[in-house]
Each structure stands twice: as C-alpha cells, then as structure tokens.
C-alpha cells in the first residue's frame, strides 16, 4: 500500500496555512505581501516589520516566487540583513547563494564562511553541508555585502510555473521533499524542480516508456536504488533522490550534466561529451533550469567516483 505523505514541516520552512505563521499573525501585512509593489510594506515603518521571522519569510517568498515575483537580489539582500544579526537560517541561505552563485557572483570562500556561521548558530543543514565540503578555517566575521553585488532575476513564465509555485510552497509532496532532501544532501528546491518537470507532482504518473511516480523512475532505476513500489510516493522520492545524489557526485556538482543524465542516462552524457543532442533532453535541462537557476550543487565525493568526462575536463 502506498505510504501516505504527512503534513509535517522541517528545516524551518513555514506554511501560509499555519496559524502560528508570522504572516498570519498580521493579516493586513499578509495581504499586502501578495503584491510585489506592496511587499516592501512588510519591512517599512512598523515595529512588526523588524520581526526576523517576517523578514525571513519575505526573503523566502522572493527566492521562490511565492505570492510575489521572483527576485533573487531582494531575497539575498534580506537574508544578508538577517545574517549580519546572527540569524542561523538566513546565514545558511547566504552561504548557499554564495557557494552556488544563485543570484550573486559565486564566491565559495565566503559561502563556506557563512555555512560555518550558520552551523555555529545550530543550523542542522549547515552542519551537514560542512561535512561534504573540504575542511577549512572560516573567517570569524564573514562579509555580506548586498549593495551592488547581486543581480535580480525576473520570473520565468512557462505553462506550469504557477502550479509549481503553489505546490512547491505547500502540500504533502513539498512537505515530504523538505523532510527527505537534507538526508541526501540535496537542495529541496532542486528536487521540487525535477518533480515538477518529470511528473507535475502526480504520484500516479506513468509514461509510455514505463517511467513511474513523482520522479519518473524507470524500472531499471527503481531496481538499482531499491524501490520496491514506484507508485509509493515516499519510496519513489527516496529512490529518485538517491539517483540525483549519485549523479551530482558522478559529475562533481555540475547540475546541468546531472539533469541531462537523469533524463537520458549517464552513459549518453559520457558518449556525447556533455548534454546529448536530443531535443527532449535539451528541453528537459532548460525547463528544470528555469525553476532551479543554479549550475552548481554541493556533492559528496564518497558517493561516486568522478566521471571520465569530468576527469578529462579537469586535466585540460
């Protein structure tokens, strides 16, 4: 029998339907925040505007495009302001932006510093991230300059964008992804983007080639990653995440190559020396990239030996 996905939230993500949510404690402010032009009201002129939870929620909204147009620059600026005040979750997001180059100029050194600051503040995701990265000595007071150093990213409108934003923000699948993804050292946003393009969040989806479930596992992939029932949402998610984690390690954190391999197989990527010249695969990589605009992702080198393609490229 398929496992029922629960409603538990983890990792600091908040649901707009939660009565304890800071936006719901301020109905007028929540209403204002549904409009991009009025969202600034959330940070202006009132004592409640200084509430760190409200500011962190607004930063997440700008990052994910939930209720306001996606604006990674504003998200980063808000995270920076909170990080400088010692907010552990905001410190982790600043580290992620800098490490991956999401919305800012990529700076792995400062990203590492902010991961360390978040871990020192008790952020579990940051501690897991530091275990994956080479050891180093972090700067005790990392810089977080937002002025003139970020780029805003306009929202990308594709047919299922609105549905993606809605389902990625809340719902049983989103809850399960946020619960499971950190266990596989994956950014939940990447996993949600893959699910959106693969199955449009339909746990019962089945393709003509017998790819099944939320992350559209082929029978051989399901067997490879010990998925007994591909229509069991949790089992399917875990199998898909294991494969995605393996691909990221195999291609040394190159998101585009990992996505191409998820669609066409790692062998096809190796044979063609990069993203295969298949229209379906190229469109797939573009569509996921629209929902997850980062080309790099941390990886665990112990999961898989680097691919020949990556090894060859690193020697050139």
Q: What is the pLDDT of residues 158-178, one digit of tens each?
A: 335 656 666 666 778 888 999
Which pLDDT score, from 0 to 100, does residue 51 have? 79
What's the structural domain count of the chain?
Answer: 2
Q: In which residue ranges of the chain is pLDDT below 70?
A: 1-50, 65-66, 146-169, 315-316
Which pLDDT score, from 0 to 100, does residue 248 have? 97
CATH number of residue 4's parent domain: 1.25.40.10
Which pLDDT score, from 0 to 100, does residue 312 have? 85
- Residue 11's nearest CA partner among 96, 102, 113 is 96
192 and 54 share one domain? no
CATH number of residue 246's parent domain: 1.10.530.10
150 and 6 share one domain? yes
Residue 270: active-site member: no
Report pLDDT digits (tens) over 259-303.
999 999 999 999 999 999 988 888 899 889 988 989 999 999 999
- Residue 116's nearest CA partner among 98, 268, 282, 102 is 98
Task: Look at residues 108, 130, 155 and tell me which one is the last residue of a structural domain.
Answer: 155
Spot the catalytic one: 13, 63, 198, 270: 198
Which pLDDT score, from 0 to 100, does residue 43 have? 42
Which pLDDT score, from 0 to 100, does residue 85 have? 92
Which pLDDT score, from 0 to 100, does residue 221 have? 96
Task: Look at residues 130, 155, 180 and tell me which one is the last residue of a structural domain.
Answer: 155
Distance between CA atoms of residues 146 and 143, nearest Å: 10
Whole-number average pLDDT of the chain: 78
Which domain range does residue 275 map to? Answer: 161-315
Q: How much is the pTM?
A: 0.55
Which pLDDT score, from 0 to 100, does residue 187 have? 94
Contact 113, 145 (CB under 8 A): no
Task: Look at residues 140, 155, 170 and tell me which one is the last residue of a structural domain.
Answer: 155
DSSP string, 139-201: -SS-----TTTB---PPP--TTHHHHHHHHHSSHHHHHHHHHGGGGT--HHHHHHHHHHHHTT
């Amino acid at each position: 029998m398929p496992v029922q996905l629960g409603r538990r939230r983890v990792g600091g993500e908040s649901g707009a339907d939660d009565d304890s949510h800071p936006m719901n404690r301020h109905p007028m402010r929540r209403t204002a925040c549904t409009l991009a032009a009025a969202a600034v009201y959330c940070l202006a002129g009132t004592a409640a505007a200084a509430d760190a939870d409200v500011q962190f929620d607004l930063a997440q909204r700008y990052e994910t495009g939930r209720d306001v147009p996606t604006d990674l620059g504003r998200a980063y600026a808000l995270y920076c302001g909170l990080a400088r005040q010692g907010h552990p979750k905001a410190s982790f997001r600043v580290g992620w932006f800098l490490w991956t180059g999401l919305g800012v100029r990529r700076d792995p050194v400062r990203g590492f510093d902010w991961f360390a600051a978040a871990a020192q503040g008790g952020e579990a995701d940051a501690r897991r991230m530091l275990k994956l990265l080479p050891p180093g000595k972090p700067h005790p007071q990392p810089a977080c300059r937002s002025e003139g150093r970020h780029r805003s990213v306009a929202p990308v409108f594709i047919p299922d964008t609105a549905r993606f934003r809605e389902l990625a923000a809340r719902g049983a699948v989103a809850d399960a992804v946020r619960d499971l993804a950190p266990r596989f050292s994956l950014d939940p946003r990447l996993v949600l983007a893959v699910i959106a393009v693969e199955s449009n969040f339909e746990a019962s989806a089945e393709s003509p080639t017998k790819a099944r479930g939320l992350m559209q596992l082929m029978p051989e992939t399901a067997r490879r990653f010990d998925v007994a029932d591909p229509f069991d949402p949790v089992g399917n998610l875990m199998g898909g995440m294991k494969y995605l984690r393996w691909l990221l390690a195999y291609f040394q954190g190159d998101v585009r190559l990992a996505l191409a391999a998820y669609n066409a197989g790692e062998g096809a990527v190796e044979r063609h020396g990069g993203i295969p010249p298949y229209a379906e695969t190229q469109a797939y990589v573009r569509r996921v990239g629209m929902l997850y605009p980062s080309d790099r992702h941390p990886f665990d080198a112990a999961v898989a030996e680097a691919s020949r393609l990556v090894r060859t490229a690193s020697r050139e």
